Structure 1
Amino acid sequence: MDLYPVKAQFLSGEEVELRLDTDGHICEYAEVSIYHLNDLVYRQKVADFTGNILISVGKYDTTFAGYGASVTVCTGNTRILLETAFDVVENPKRSLRYGFLSDFTQDDADNGAVEWLNKCHINMVQYYDWSYRHDHLVADQEFYTDMMGKPISRKTVKDKIEKCAEHGMHSIAYGAIYAASKPFFEKHTNWALYNSCQKPFVFIDVFYIMNIAKDSPWRHHLIAEYRKAITKMGFAGIHMDTYGFPKTAYSHLEEKPELIRLDQEIPSLINQTREELAGANQDPYLIFNNVGNWPVYFTAAAKQDAVYIEVWNPYERYSHIAQLIDEARQLSGDQRPIILAAYLEPFRKDSRERAMNAARILTAAIVSNGAYHLLQGENQAVLTQGYYSDYTRLSEKDAAILRRCNDFMIRYLDLFYDEELRNVSMTHMGWDNYEYQCQSHPVSTYGEANKLWLTIREKELRKCLYFVNLCGCENDYWNKGKDTPIPQENIRIVVQVDSPVKGVYAASPDREAMQAQAIQYTDFESDKGAFIEFVLPRIGYWTVVWIDLQGENI
């Protein structure tokens, strides 16, 4: 059996529907419960049905919230618990979960990829290498091969765009900002960028790097190609890709070569693209790839819809993941989602078990710090490197595990992506800080191996503690395979509070049910003030604890 929302995301006031697939079982009844955090907000009972049904669970007028759906199906003497999640937003751009598609032959038209991404709540999909040429995006013919020799059906691309729209998913056209084919370069040699030896830049002997400067004809050509992708193919936006290198280059637009800094040109390119595409689509999605975090200091405030960072060495440790997210949040003024494209090579180079452990830990870390992880795409696949078409297919079991992590992320959206939550991990724990204490287990606030990684975020009436288990992990490199973390039990936590506590709750995707559990706690006072103490029974991979306060004086 299976349970999932009919759309990846719902708008405020929109009727929310869940699909229950029963695999042909005759069902006596199904009990449907909808939760917002720890509160039950909706319940109904559906009786006597067979096959697949749609269950309407109401309309929600919230501007931004995640919900958990639990359905208990009774078939004879058997009761089966099914869980999923959905979110409701006023503006879809406030929460962007990025996935990918890269297979576009005729045979891929109905390969189940869009349906799978919908079950994983992916609401923004990058169409990787869908185009005819990087300098001529929309093909003139139905069947063509791209610059890497990959066969593509234009109809398949368009059909997937339409199918994504039906599921509330936004299709984003891949379009490198400066790549061109050799024939195009040979016709426009003065449009290219040149190295300090005045030789043209060429990437993997295929892609010639073109001049994106404001006065370059290439910039105008590029934006025109982006516009065609939206108007002719129906894309909702553009993924503006880069390769990281070069960062400086010479322009040959004038008789004398002129040195330009790309980090000074890229922000205006993003802004100009936004302005010119607004006429083709009322509010196009625009994503720029900061490869290796460059040049995020200049682009984070540009007119784009997310701060998107492709993570490479030397950002190689778990602490670097938190660092990237915190810096991006500060640079963007918390005005847009943060997406980390962190590809996992253990799926190619290590055992599947160790690769899955690495994936579960990394996704938990990224989400706990308030960002989104680009890893999943196609039909039950993950990325292992920068060339998306060489993805790795997951087993049914492993795909279900990562899908459950996505369910957890959406169910507790309010705890992960509330802009009011401030990360205080490095200032409120350790040394002579008494605000947060773990009195039973080794804890790290920056992802050290063989410890519980604790991230702490808080706002006026809520304190959130995010535990990622690194106990038994031999290193803190995020792109290395990991042994299964050793479960930790009876974790004793002390938290200083300035207001009476309304409740303490914990939830985990590792448990049989994702429903929040109320945690018993005790109050006590010391010369440092008022505190609460509680014990977490167990931490497997990932556990979230939140403390809600009443807002009154103690």
Structure 2
Amino acid sequence: MTMTESSSSIESSSSIDAGRVADEPVVELLPTRATYASADPVRIEVRGFTGDGSLTVWTLGERGASTRVPGSGVVDLGLLPVGGHGVELTVAAGGVHAPPVARTAIEVADDVRARLRYGFVADYAPGRDAEAVADMVRRLHLTGIQLYDWAYRHADLVGGGEVYTDALDRPVSLDTVRRLVGAIKAAGSRALGYAAVYGVGRAEWSRWEHAALLTPSGPPYGLGDFLSLVDPAEPAWLDHFTADLAAAVDAVGLDGFHLDQYGYPQRALRADGVVVDVADSFVTLVQAVRERLPESHLVFNNVNDFPTWRTGASPQDAVYIEVWEPHVTLGSLGHVVGRARSAGGGKPVVIAAYQHVYDTAPVAEADLATAFTMATLFSHGATQLLAGDGDRVLVDPYYVRNHRMAASTAAMLRRWYDFLVEHDALLLDPSVVEVTGSYAGAYNDDADVAYGHDRVTGDAIPGAVWRRATRVGDALVLHLVNLVGQRDTLWDAPRLPVGETGPGTLRVRRTGPGRPRVRVADPSTNPRLVEVPVTLDGDHAVAALPAPTVWQVVVIDDGPAGAHP
């Protein structure tokens, strides 16, 4: 029961979000879980639908089974194969080419550690409702939620009783923490508690000053005026820290921990005269936590890429990097991801790129900045820590200083995260290989695109289309990021309106006498792969591509020679 769509479907498919950018949709599809095991039936909650319609599953552009929907409620789609899938709701009388009423995506995976689509929570006030957080987990398919600053003190996680104020005087109720943990788990995600690996507050400092990391002038390194830093691998501290984590698991049911550091120092003198290579100490700490908590999910923060080269291979579940200057351009983000994928050996890569731009620019310009950031990260095989707390995005490393989403931001994130999950095999699979330098360009002449007078380049250059090529199994995948009309490539700066390139021309060398298959998708216009016409020109094939918005994905598949006459 599969079929493909021709280029005539692009126009109808692209209209799915028409009229929905400024307002939340009246009709919504919400998976009951962020991710499903292959042995679990997939269920979709339909909200706000009063007509007669059907849900259709799409897998990388191939149409699957449809299920009737007689109105709002939970629809059982049964068992689906491992991978990412799109789901569309259409009305019964809409016709073959009618645009969907609503869309979502689902992930089926048997390895819960294979992907990390990361979110956050930063509010634990008594009585707080957890429903909005659970809905966001399901809506954005978030497989991990960081519980930021949930603990009593940095060096005493659960010593404050049931209700307390944290180190910066924010109210915390452990009942709220437990309810959030339960809601996150029920939504098919993981709850990871924040824990600083070497920060000690004033009240606890007398116990740990023997392990202090000292500045060259003598005082200990610290954070602000309320934390001082110790060697994370000092034996007594390591025993205390791992025991504190274990106690936190028992107290509130956490699935694991977000292990934080501040990016400094990289080498320092310890109070007892030992010279400490902090990168080595971090690896020792991660190993010790893994031994103490073998089932916990662990994520270590490599601040500004330090020391990814050492911790990437350590026994944790992701390679997570919080980026700062000099990693300020889209191209630098791509390079950071490339190094992380290499160091991690197949672990998921997450980048904490805080979009401060929402605090300084109109929402439309900030949304475009975020779209370019996501286009860069997703196309390079990484995800972004950005959304959380039900309706917030991160604009600051102190997560309490977050930004309430506008409706346009919420709608954009829903589209882009759906796109990420639906096209997971083309984007996040560890086997995806960068091949731009081997395929594109005049010397190679294997695959390239052209847009009239607009420049196409392999680097992130303002005013050009940034073209990259990856190999995914037998398919060649082109990522086209449209920087036409931009004056710079800063990822955390207001963006000008997307430049209009007009349609593109794809030229690809054929493997054999057959006609290659070319499919196109774009999270802003046509969210699932649709086929475009291909003509033959000697040893090459030529396809007309629709004009890109921020990011367009092109999949070129030769298949067996002669399979597409």
Same fold at TM > 0.5: yes
TM-aligned CA deviation for residue 117 of structure 1: 2.6
Q: 2:487 aligns with which of 471, 474, 483?
A: 474
Determine whether 1:363 maps to 2:379: no
Q: Using the alignment, how far apart are the partners of 1:209 and 1:127 within structure 2?
A: 22
Determine whether 1:390 maps to 2:416: no
Deviations 1:259-289 (A, max 9, x none): 21101211121112111111xxxx2111000
Q: Aligned residue for 1:184?
A: 204
Q: Using the alignment, how far apart are the partners of 2:484 and 2:127 within structure 1?
A: 45
TM-aligned CA deviation for residue 58 of structure 1: 1.3
Please state whether the residue corresponding to 2:502 is helix, strand or coil: strand
Do 2:313 and 2:343's aligned partners in 1 also have CA atoms closer than 8 Å? yes
Q: Which amino acid aligns with 2:336?
A: L
Determine whether 1:536 maps to 2:549: no
TM-aligned CA deviation for residue 248 of structure 1: 1.5
Q: Using the alignment, how far apart are the partners of 1:380 and 1:445 within structure 2?
A: 36
TM-aligned CA deviation for residue 367 of structure 1: 0.3
Structural mapping, 1:45-84, within 5 Å: 45-47=68-70, 49=71, 52-62=72-82, 65-73=83-91, 81-84=101-104
Q: Aligned residue for 1:170?
A: 190
Q: Aligned residue for 1:235?
A: 254
Q: Which amino acid aligns with 2:61?
A: N
Q: 1:504 aligns with which of 494, 504, 518?
A: 518
TM-aligned CA deviation for residue 399 of structure 1: 0.8
Normalising by structure 1, report the TM-score: 0.92
Q: Using the alignment, how far apart are the partners of 2:442 and 2:278 within structure 1?
A: 43
Q: Which amino acid aligns with 2:145?
A: V
Please state whether the residue corresponding to 1:122 is helix, strand or coil: coil
Q: Aligned residue for 2:502?
A: 489
Query: Structure 1's 292 and 26: CA in aligned 2 closer, same or farther, altered over 3 A?
Result: closer
Once the two structures are overlaid, the 10-residue window that deviates more, 235-244 or 260-269, is: 260-269
Determine whether 1:42 maps to 2:65: yes
Once the two structures are overlaid, the 10-residue window that deviates more, 184-193 or 318-327, is: 184-193
Q: Aligned residue for 2:342?
A: 330
Q: Aligned residue for 2:286?
A: 270
Q: Which amino acid aligns with 1:243?
A: Y
Determine whether 1:99 maps to 2:122: no
Query: Structure 1's 76 and 455: CA in aligned 2 closer, same or farther, altered over 3 A?
Result: closer
Query: Structure 1's 497 and 92: CA in aligned 2 closer, same or farther, altered over 3 A?
Result: farther
Q: Which amino acid aligns with 1:484?
A: P
Q: Aligned residue for 2:165?
A: 145
Determine whether 1:445 maps to 2:458: yes
Deviations 1:34-82 (A, max 9, x none): 01011112112233x4xx30001110243xx100000013699998611
Please state whether the residue corresponding to 2:436 is helix, strand or coil: coil
Q: 2:240 aligns with which of 215, 221, 226?
A: 221
Name structure 1 gaps, 5 residues minimum: none
Q: Using the alignment, how far apart are the partners of 2:202 and 2:260 within structure 1?
A: 19
Determine whether 1:518 maps to 2:537: no
Greater RCO, CA 8 A, separation 6+: 2
Q: Which amino acid aligns with 1:261?
A: D
Aligned length: 532
Q: Using the alignment, how far apart are the partners of 1:439 and 1:344 within structure 2?
A: 32
- Which has a greater percent of strand? 1
Do 1:117 and 1:378's aligned partners in 2 also have CA atoms closer than 8 Å? no
Deviations 1:154-174 (A, max 9, x none): 100000101111110100010
Do 1:292 and 1:312's aligned partners in 2 also have CA atoms closer than 8 Å? yes
Q: Which amino acid aligns with 1:510?
A: S
Deviations 1:308-332 (A, max 9, x none): 1111111111111111111111222
Q: Aligned residue for 1:301?
A: 313
Aligned residues: percent identity? Answer: 26
Q: Aligned residue for 2:24?
A: none
Q: 1:546 aligns with which of 549, 552, 555?
A: 555
Q: Using the alignment, how far apart are the partners of 1:425 and 1:156 within structure 2?
A: 49
TM-aligned CA deviation for residue 401 of structure 1: 1.1
Normalising by structure 2, report the TM-score: 0.90
Name structure 2 gaps, 5 residues minimum: 1-26
Please state whether the residue corresponding to 2:78 is helix, strand or coil: strand
Q: Please, what is the CA RMSD of the aligned residues?
A: 2.0
